[in-house]
């Protein structure tokens, strides 16, 4: 049995500190939340409970320890005693926690303390770590009503919601408590919709206990059932059946009209939001609507947010000394009328977007209502920044030598040429741009190229013009594209004079051919040395066999079998020499045709050239192949052979100069698709000269023993003929040259 004459603990550090009023159907409940010297008093009540409230609080903590008073609404059963409680607490930092609407009323009780205004989902963090969260429940039953939720104990101070009136009052609610709740809510809550708005917020919380300001305390086991029943309860304006029927009819009618209007506006908004251009609706001197593109441009969430800064968009117009541009001095009603009244002008404005970029717009205005007293306009802002800049850039670039442009107007089917183009061909013209007939200045084949390009969005091609006056050919690279310029789709041709470039390319190709031949001749000299070395062994063998044959004859020991053996031996040695010559002839022949070939075959060919000679120099050649790799590439096989042979030769020279006692080795690794690695253990290249390796005519060999073209030409060959590369890396005191073959089988 609870002793109602004492403060009653209902949750951790939460106490009921009210007074039981004998025979009163309308019990009122203040609560105290203990928190050291910052305690919270919730809905302290009227003068009927004042003395007992003070007595019960002081059994728990001195009154001066109360720092916050929560007033869930403005009624006297909550607020009447607050002025006396203020005096009893007597501290300057006392705060009244309530809604702003409530504060405007309860000040008339004579409350002196400062207010801490709450809004939906605001909170208060107490010093013991407890957080009180506040949720607004407007008009349930007061305009500024709210509830308080203690996150620590999951307790809800529900104010009037879940309150009850009954003759036989129990401290804790039982299964029959809904009848008491029903009686209270039918008379005190304005409508089911208002009550449900509050209940939906409460239902989203995890609640163990509800402490209402009237009625009984509600434990968790009853909360869900009570909530469901309350959500279906007719209350307030729905009590009278006649009034309810008429109200519901009116409500349904208004809801239908509202939905129709909403559907119409949503449909209209969907249409304008689909537009990339900014759209603005002005009505009677005010901005009333815009599309999303408008809000995005100014980085605003709504028209209201935009209007907080500007009463009219014309405040954003940047003044330009050009009759086509609308100035910011025109007011919200003047500039739409100005645009409508001057249709002969292409009206423009310049505005800064949210990123402060200057954007140029073409402006179109339509009048919705003809009455002079009701001015409604729809304005469309079309971004033409690109077009304006494009013409400006073309004009600036056309002042540069060797740069020209032609604009083809699809509507008028006319070509306009830049002044530089006309000057280049000595075409008489007046002004900066002149209409031309391209067939008069281009060859027939080139005219066809231009006409075909017009049918494409973009194209790139090369043509040749004949300057009759100077009797010379002019090579032009043309890049074409489509663009909206001056309100219509046009085709723009950018022409760059590349005659000088083509001449340089010819001269460069001649130099490259010469260097290629120099490099190859140097390698052929290397190979002739190899052939001489590889022939020396079979020649010596043949000579020895001949001496043996002559000696046998002198000693009368020559037999037919001996002659046959000698002939067979000589034939084999000659075949070896022939094979060497065949390999050399195959490499040195001018195999300029491009074809598909296997990387593995190239590695084998070069290895066959060098293996014998390198072995004689105590240089081991190791080939590491991935059996699964058999890449096919397209190009000239002899060029890849030349690159590989040069790397072998460089490694051999480096190893011969090396004083190291370790086994000298050249390793060819073909274990990654389209990548060949040639490495040697000669100690690597000095770090100070690595950057110069691929420079023409740079060599580390003694004078007369190197041209300095091998690595340079090797990289050029890989870059230009195989879309690949030749690079160097030094690892673990080894030189690694990496050949990457990019050109695929076509």
Residue with tokens 């085709």: 491
d(CA 340, CA 398): 36
**pLDDT for 561:** 75
**pLDDT for 444:** 79
Residues 409 and 322 in one domain: no
Select from 155, 184, 158, 157 the least CA-distant residue to 169: 184
3-state SS, residue 250: helix
Residues 285 and 377 in one domain: yes
Judge whether 136 lies within some domain. yes
Q: What sign does the CA torsion over 353, 356, 362, 364 have?
A: positive
**pLDDT for 411:** 66
**pLDDT for 400:** 65
Residues 379 and 410 in one domain: no
Q: Is the pLDDT of residue 633 over 70?
A: yes
Span 272-312, pLDDT tens digits: 788 888 888 887 778 888 888 899 999 999 888 888 888 78
pLDDT (mean) for 17-41: 93
Residues 444 and 562 in one domain: no
Judge whether 3 lies within some domain. no
Judge whether 153 lies within some domain. yes
pLDDT (mean) for 19-26: 87
Q: 511: pLDDT confidence band, cut at 50, 70 and 90? A: low
The secondary element (H helix, E strand) that includes residue 586 is helix 560-588
pLDDT (mean) for 64-78: 96
Judge whether 746 lies within some domain. no
Residues 336 and 395 in one domain: no
Residue with tokens 């008093």: 41
The secondary element (H helix, E strand) that includes residue 74 is none
Residue 141: cis peptide before it, omega within 30 degrees of 0:
yes
Length of the chain: 746
Give yes or no for a contact between 603 and 623, defined as CB atoms under 8 angstroms apart.
yes
- Taking each helix axis as running N to C, give the angle between helix 710-721 and helix 499-554, from 0 to 180 degrees, rounded to the nearest 10: 120
**pLDDT for 746:** 44
Judge whether 706 lies within some domain. yes
In which domain, by residue range, is 461 found? Answer: 388-497
Give yes or no for a contact between 741 and 722, defined as CB atoms under 8 angstroms apart.
yes
Give yes or no for a contact between 97 and 42, defined as CB atoms under 8 angstroms apart.
no
Q: 172: pLDDT confidence band, cut at 50, 70 and 90? A: very high
**pLDDT for 186:** 87
The secondary element (H helix, E strand) that includes residue 423 is helix 419-424
Q: For the chain, report the end-to-end CA distance as a whole number of angstroms.
A: 97
Span 190-241, pLDDT tens digits: 888 899 999 999 999 999 999 999 999 999 999 999 999 999 998 876 666 6
d(CA 422, CA 398): 11
Q: Per the structure block, which two tokens stand in for 363?
A: 């402006």
Give yes or no for a contact between 165 and 184, defined as CB atoms under 8 angstroms apart.
yes
Q: Is the pLDDT of residue 591 over 60?
A: no
For residue 690, the Cα-to-chain-centroid distance in whole angstroms is: 40
Q: 147: pLDDT confidence band, cut at 50, 70 and 90? A: very high
d(CA 527, CA 613): 10
Q: When comparing pLDDT for 623 and 519, which is higher? A: 623
- Phi, psi at 234, each rounded to 5°: -80, 130
Give yes or no for a contact between 457 and 479, defined as CB atoms under 8 angstroms apart.
no
Span 46-55, pLDDT tens digits: 999 999 999 9
Residue with tokens 């045709």: 593
Residues 218 and 97 in one domain: yes
d(CA 196, CA 30): 25
**688 contacts: CB under 8 Å, gap ≥ 6:** none
Give yes or no for a contact between 97 and 116, defined as CB atoms under 8 angstroms apart.
yes
Question: Which of 189, 218, 238 corresponds to the end of one domain?
Answer: 238
Residue 198: cis peptide before it, omega within 30 degrees of 0:
no
Residue with tokens 């397209």: 634
Judge whether 745 lies within some domain. no
CATH number at residue 366: 3.30.450.20
Least confident span in 109-113, 198-202, 680-684: 680-684
3-state SS, residue 47: coil
Give yes or no for a contact between 424 and 474, defined as CB atoms under 8 angstroms apart.
yes
Question: Which of 336, 367, 383 corresponds to the end of one domain?
Answer: 383
Give yes or no for a contact between 740 and 723, defined as CB atoms under 8 angstroms apart.
no
Q: Per the structure block, which two tokens stand in for 283?
A: 């009505």
Select from 732, 730, 726, 729 the least CA-distant residue to 712: 726
Q: Is the pLDDT of residue 663 over 60?
A: yes
Percentage of the chain modeled with pLDDT above 90: 33
**Phi-psi domain of 6 (left: phi exceeds 0; alpha: psi -120 through 50; beta: other):** beta
What is residue 315's DSSP assignment?
G
What is residue 6's DSSP assignment?
S
What is the rounded average pLDDT for all residues in the chain?
Answer: 83
| Planar angle of CA 499, 500, 505, nearest 5 degrees | 95
Q: Is the pLDDT of residue 67 over 90?
A: yes
**pLDDT for 222:** 96
Judge whether 451 lies within some domain. yes
Residues 232 and 297 in one domain: no
Instruction: Give the CB-side neighbour count of residue 383, counting CA atoms within 13 A.
Output: 14
Q: Per the structure block, which two tokens stand in for 339?
A: 């645009």
Q: Is the pLDDT of residue 590 over 50?
A: no
d(CA 674, CA 275): 51
Q: 95: pLDDT confidence band, cut at 50, 70 and 90? A: very high
Q: When comparing pLDDT for 396 and 602, which is higher? A: 602
Q: Number of folded domains in the chain?
A: 5
Select from 227, 43, 23, 263 the least CA-distant residue to 147: 43
Q: Per the structure block, which two tokens stand in for 503?
A: 């001449």
Least confident span in 359-363, 412-416, 682-686: 412-416
Judge whether 682 lies within some domain. yes
CATH number at residue 207: 3.60.15.10
Question: Which of 224, 251, 267 corresponds to the end of one domain?
Answer: 267
**89 contacts: CB under 8 Å, gap ≥ 6:** 63, 64, 66
**pLDDT for 617:** 78
Residues 105 and 32 in one domain: yes
d(CA 132, CA 438): 81
| Planar angle of CA 505, 509, 512, nearest 5 degrees | 135
Percentage of the chain modeled with pLDDT above 70: 81
């Amino acid at each position: 049995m609870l002793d109602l004459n004492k403060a009653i603990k209902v949750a951790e550090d939460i106490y009921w500190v009210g007074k039981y009023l004998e025979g009163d159907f309308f019990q009122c409940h203040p609560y105290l939340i203990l928190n050291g010297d910052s305690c919270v008093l919730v809905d302290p009540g009227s003068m009927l409970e004042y003395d007992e409230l003070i007595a019960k609080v002081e059994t728990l903590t001195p009154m001066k320890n109360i720092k916050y008073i929560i007033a869930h609404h403005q009624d006297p059963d909550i607020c009447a005693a607050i002025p006396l409680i203020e005096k009893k607490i007597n501290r300057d930092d006392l705060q009244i926690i309530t809604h702003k609407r409530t504060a405007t009323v309860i000040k008339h009780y004579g409350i002196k303390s400062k207010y801490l205004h709450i809004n939906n989902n605001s909170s208060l963090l107490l010093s013991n770590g407890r957080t009180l969260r506040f949720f607004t429940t407007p008009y349930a039953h007061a305009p500024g009503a709210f509830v308080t939720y203690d996150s620590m104990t999951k307790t809800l101070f529900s104010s009037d919601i879940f309150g009850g009136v009954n003759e036989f009052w129990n401290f804790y609610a039982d299964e029959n408590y809904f009848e008491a709740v029903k009686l209270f809510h039918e008379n005190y809550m304005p409508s089911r919709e208002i009550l449900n708005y509050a209940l939906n917020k409460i239902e989203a919380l995890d609640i163990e206990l509800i402490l209402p300001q009237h009625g009984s305390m509600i434990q968790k086991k009853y909360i869900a059932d009570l909530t469901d029943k309350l959500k279906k309860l007719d209350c307030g304006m729905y009590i009278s059946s006649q009034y309810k029927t008429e109200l519901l009819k009116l409500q349904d009618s208004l809801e239908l009209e509202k939905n129709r209007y909403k559907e119409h506006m949503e449909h209209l908004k969907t249409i304008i939001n689909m537009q990339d251009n900014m759209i603005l609706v002005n009505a009677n001197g005010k901005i009333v609507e815009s599309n999303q593109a408008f809000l995005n441009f100014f980085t605003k969430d709504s028209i209201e947010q935009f209007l907080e800064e500007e009463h009219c968009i014309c405040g954003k117009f940047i003044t330009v000394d050009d009759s086509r541009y609308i100035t910011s001095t025109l007011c919200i009603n003047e500039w739409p009328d100005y645009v409508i009244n001057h249709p002969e002008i292409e009206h423009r404005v310049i505005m800064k977007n949210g990123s402060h970029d200057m954007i140029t717009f073409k402006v179109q205005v339509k009048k919705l209502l003809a009455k002079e007293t009701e001015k409604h306009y729809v304005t469309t802002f079309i971004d033409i920044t690109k077009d304006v800049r494009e013409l400006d850039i073309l004009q600036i670039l056309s002042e540069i030598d060797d740069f020209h442009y032609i604009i083809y107007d699809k509507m008028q089917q006319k070509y306009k040429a830049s002044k530089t183009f006309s000057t280049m061909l000595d075409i008489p013209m007046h002004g900066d741009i002149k209409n031309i007939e391209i067939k008069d200045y281009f060859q027939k084949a080139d005219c066809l190229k231009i006409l075909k390009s017009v049918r494409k969005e973009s194209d790139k091609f090369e043509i040749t013009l004949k300057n009759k006056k100077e009797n010379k050919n002019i090579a032009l690279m043309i890049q074409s594209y489509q663009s909206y310029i001056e309100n219509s789709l046009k085709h723009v041709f950018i022409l760059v004079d590349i005659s000088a470039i083509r001449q340089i390319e010819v001269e460069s190709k001649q130099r490259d051919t010469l260097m290629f031949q120099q490099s190859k001749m140097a390698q052929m000299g290397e190979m002739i040395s190899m052939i001489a070395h590889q022939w020396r062994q079979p020649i010596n063998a043949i000579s020895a066999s001949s001496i043996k044959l002559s000696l046998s004859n002198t000693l009368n020991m020559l037999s037919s079998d001996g002659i046959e053996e000698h002939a067979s031996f000589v034939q084999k040695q000659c075949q070896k020499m022939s094979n060497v010559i065949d390999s050399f002839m195959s490499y040195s022949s001018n195999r300029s045709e491009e074809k598909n070939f296997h990387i593995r075959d190239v590695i084998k060919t070069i290895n066959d050239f060098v293996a014998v000679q390198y072995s004689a120099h105590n240089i081991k050649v190791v080939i590491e192949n991935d059996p699964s790799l058999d890449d096919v590439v397209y190009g000239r096989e002899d060029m890849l052979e030349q690159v590989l042979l040069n790397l072998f030769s460089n490694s051999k020279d480096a190893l011969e100069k090396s004083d190291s006692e370790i086994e000298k080795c050249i390793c060819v690794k073909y274990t990654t698709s389209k990548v060949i690695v040639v490495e040697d253990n000669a100690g690597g290249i000095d770090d100070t000269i690595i950057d110069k390796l691929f420079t023409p005519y740079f060599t580390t060999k003694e004078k007369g023993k190197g041209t300095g073209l091998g690595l340079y030409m090797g990289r050029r060959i890989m870059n230009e003929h195989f879309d690949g590369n030749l690079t160097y890396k030094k690892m673990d005191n080894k030189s690694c040259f990496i050949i990457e073959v990019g050109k695929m089988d076509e």
